[in-house]
Amino acid sequence: MSYTGKMLRVDLTTGTLTTEALPMDLARQYLGGRGLATKLFCDEVDPTVDALSPDNKLIMATGPLTGTSAPTGGRYMVVTKSPLTGAIASSNSGGFFGSKLKDAGFDIIIFEGKASKPVYLKISKEGPNLVDAAVVWGQDVYETTRLLLDEVGDKNAKVACIGPAGEHLSLIASVMNDKARAAGRSGVGAVMGSKNLKAVIVSADRNKPVVADEEAFKAVVKVCQAKIKEDAVTSQGLPTYGTKVLDNIINSSGMYPTNNFQLCMFKDVGEVSGEALVEKGYLKKRKACFGCPIGCGRDVELPNGKKGEGPEYESGWSLGAACGVSDLIAISEANFMCNELGLDTISAGVTIAAAMELYEKGFLPKEDLEKGPELRFGSSEALGYYIKAMGTNQGILGKKMAQGAYRLADSYGHPELAMCVKKQELPAYDPRGVQGQGLAYATQNRGGCHVRGYLIAPEILAHPQAIDPQELESKPTWVKAFQDLTAVIDSCGLCLFSSFALGAEVYNDLINAATGSTNSVDDLMTIGDRIWNLEKLFNIKAGLTAADDTLPKRLLEEPLTEGPNKGQVHHLDQLLPPYYKLRGWDTKGIPTQEKLLALGLG
């Protein structure tokens, strides 16, 4: 129960659309969303496939709690092989698209092959069909959304699409939905573009998912709502200041990466923080995704009349402190531009930061700027100019930057200046200041990522308890637990932010009441462990090794020079071996046969 029980398979090469039954035996083992989509993907796709070839597949997947009354139940996943990292990609997004897809009667859509010309998928009351996308190909995300909504004549329809960045196969392109919500990381937008698939629009009546035990489900939902209301982060911090409530907290903790991780504190943080967004009057109202009582989204209007959503914490940091930019208007405009072009804001900002360091150190020749502004830290002009260049694939540098920070820095002979893990740009926490988060970065199956194991919660925010950011012994245990629980949250269709208030026991009660399963908490965590190991197996078969479970040299060898963590480096060499052992992997990071058999993956 709570599943629709149906999948839609779209063969873009032949134009054939087929409705299939959801494999419930696999749903019990992998839940849905990230887990079930990954299992289906791994069963159907060769890990060595060229990510931008027709042989790669792209899966959009909801979870069993997506579209239900469970708080924050609006999430869906995009699963594919990443062209940026060569690893498994599963990018999560909120908004209303996921719940609308569930309304239309599908848990999952599997896209395969490549259309001979640009198309979009339309799902309406009459059923699904492919439509010529000539009218929207070349348009940005906002215009594409507007045109498609006008086309179907349904103001309640929901659109997921790519912008020019995805069309041009930028390796840092996102899939955007509801205009400003992003399945943002790992270049999933490039895979969509490689298939000549511009968009998916869903227009259908509301068919609320039916849960297995309605009374039990209502009771657990009531508990969830009370816990979210009681927690200071979910009831006060996030609603009032959005995710940018973190700016001052992380900066004062001495781990706010500045000037491409050369520094760890930003002297102008007060000018760009979540508090500043409110105090300057740019924030007009907060926004919430489907079923969300938190409402961390930001509706922003700038003094020049420009409007948009965000920036969120990661976006504001990558387009701000990472590039040394302290102009909140420029940062907000850059964020709007990324959304319109369909660029991952984290990767875009960190790529520009790498370019700035390359330029200032003389490794990037001035002639490659062509007519563009100089790439100096703090340059608002450079920020906007090069986002447009990389999003539209223009100029020598724009084309290089569109491929991400690692390939950019490598092209100039200095890959060490790319702050990436597995070629994916790192988010807004310096691992030298948070040892657990650094271990999580190094071991994430999709490369540099903070939302697959958010150790900032215990290390900085004291959720669910406070732990010393520099302590080492307990960190492998914490990292594994957070990674496994996050796999569960991604798979059931809820937002990670709910975990500030909710624990594994409550998630288990929700899932059991919704699906009719009888899992214990241990069973649930085993599902998370199973998903994690399946992703790891895909990556191994794709060619990744233990050498990829690392951090940039700067973070391992160059001590911080300021703040409360002055003198610290990241101690990955001490953390990785016990983490591997705890995972049931050998010293090369490969799951043992005993581990795989225990998880049903042997």
Q: What is the pLDDT of residues 19-58, one digit of tens each?
A: 999 999 999 999 999 999 999 999 999 999 999 999 999 9
Are 331 and 324 within 8 A, CB to CB?
no
Instruction: Map tokens 């129960």 to a residue.
Output: 1
At 119 the three-state DSSP class reads strand
What confidence category does residue 392 fall into, taking pLDDT thresholds of 50, 70 and 90?
Answer: very high
Distance from the Cα of residue 567 to its chain's centroid: 31
Q: How far apart are CA 570 and CA 128, in angstroms?
A: 50
Q: Poorest-confidence range of 26-40, 279-293, 375-389, 433-447?
A: 279-293
Give the global pTM: 0.96
The stretch 354-366 carries a mean pLDDT of 98
Mean pLDDT of 481-506: 96
CA atoms within 13 A on the CB side of 465: 3
Band (118; pLDDT cuts 50, 70, 90):
very high
**What confidence tier does 339 reach under pLDDT thresholds 50, 70, 90?**
very high
Alpha-carbon span 439 to 432, nearest angstrom: 10
- Give the fold, CATH level 3, of 244-424: 1.10.569
E strands of 12-81, at which residues?
A: 16-21, 58-62, 76-81
Q: How far is CA 198 from CA 174, 323, 367, 392, 421, in A?
A: 12, 31, 35, 15, 29
pLDDT at 319 over 80: yes
Residue 117 CB-density burial (10 A; 0-12 exposed, 13-18 middle, 19+ buried): exposed
Q: How confident is the model at residue 364 (pLDDT cuts 50, 70, 90)?
A: very high
Average pLDDT on 459-466 reads 94
The residue with tokens 């840092």 is 172
Pairing of strands 6-11, 283-287: unpaired
Structure confidence at residue 498 (pLDDT): 94
User: What would the two tokens of residue 437 be?
Assistant: 């988060």
Q: How many CB atoms lie within 10 A of CB 213?
A: 15
pLDDT band at residue 241, thresholds of 50, 70 and 90? Answer: confident
Average pLDDT over residues 259-275: 96
Q: Which two tokens stand for residue 497?
A: 């932010």
* Amino acid at the residue 330: A
Q: Cα dist. 311→247, 331, 429 in Å?
A: 12, 8, 17
Taking alpha carbons only, the member of 339, 377, 402 closest to residue 174 is: 339
Q: pLDDT (tens digit, 9 = 90+) per residue, 402-422? A: 999 999 999 999 999 999 999
Structural class in CATH, domain 6-202? alpha beta
Q: What is the CA radius of gyration of the chain?
A: 22
What's the pLDDT score for residue 1?
77
Q: What angle do CA 485, 490, 493 make, to 5 degrees?
A: 125
Compute how many other C-beta atoms are within 10 angstroms of the C-beta atom of residue 353.
31
CA 513 to each of CA 22, 66, 171, 474: distance values in angstroms, whole numbers, following the listed order: 19, 14, 40, 33
Q: What is the largest CA-CA distance in the chain?
A: 68
Instruction: Give which of 400, 342, 344, 392 is closest to 369, Cα–Cα.
Output: 400
Question: Is the pLDDT confidence value at 531 over 80?
Answer: yes
Give the amino acid at 200.
V
Q: How far apart are CA 186 and CA 265, in angstroms?
A: 27
Neighbours of 286 (CB within 10 A): 16
Model pLDDT, residue 208 = 82
Give the dihedral sign, CA 481/485/490/496.
negative
- Domain locations in the chain as residue ranges: 6-202, 244-424, 431-500+518-598
C-alpha–C-alpha distance, residues 446 and 14, integer Å: 31
- Given a cut of 80, whether residue 281 has pLDDT beyond it is yes
Q: What is the mean pLDDT of the chain?
A: 96
281: alpha, beta or left, given left = phi > 0 and alpha = psi -120 to 50?
left
**One-letter identity of residue 437:** Q
Instruction: For residue 572, give the H/E element and its range.
Output: helix 572-583
Mean pLDDT of 433-438: 98
Helix spans in 63-213 (H): 97-103, 141-152, 164-167, 188-194
What is the DSSP secondary structure assignment for residue 563, as one 8-state letter? S
In the predicted model, what is the mean pLDDT of residues 281-299? 91
Distance CA 537, CA 595 (A): 12
Distance between CA atoms of residues 359 and 375, nearest Å: 6
Evaluate whether 46 touches 55 at the Cβ level (below 8 Å).
yes
Is 165's pLDDT higher than 80? yes
Render pLDDT for 174-208 as a digit per residue (tens, 0 to 9): 999 999 999 999 999 999 999 999 999 999 877 78
The CATH code of the domain at 431-500+518-598 is 1.10.599.10
Side-chain half-sphere exposure of 277, counting CA atoms within 13 A: 30
DSSP assignment of 315-382 equals HHHHTTGGGT---HHHHHHHHHHHHHHTB-HHHHHHHHHHHHHHHHTT-S-GGGGTTSPP--TT-HHH
Q: Which of 104, 19, 34 is nearest to 67 (CA)?
A: 104
Q: How many CB atoms lie within 10 A of CB 116?
A: 11
pLDDT tier for residue 278 given thresholds of 50, 70 and 90: very high
pLDDT mean over 139-151: 97
Q: Identity (one letter) of the amino acid at 124? A: S
How far is 387 from 403, CA to CA, in rounded Å? 12
Crossing angle of helices 572-583 and 435-443, in 10° steps, is 60
Question: Given this model, what pLDDT does residue 486 score?
Answer: 97
pLDDT-based confidence at residue 476 (cuts at 50, 70, 90): very high
- pLDDT for position 602: 80
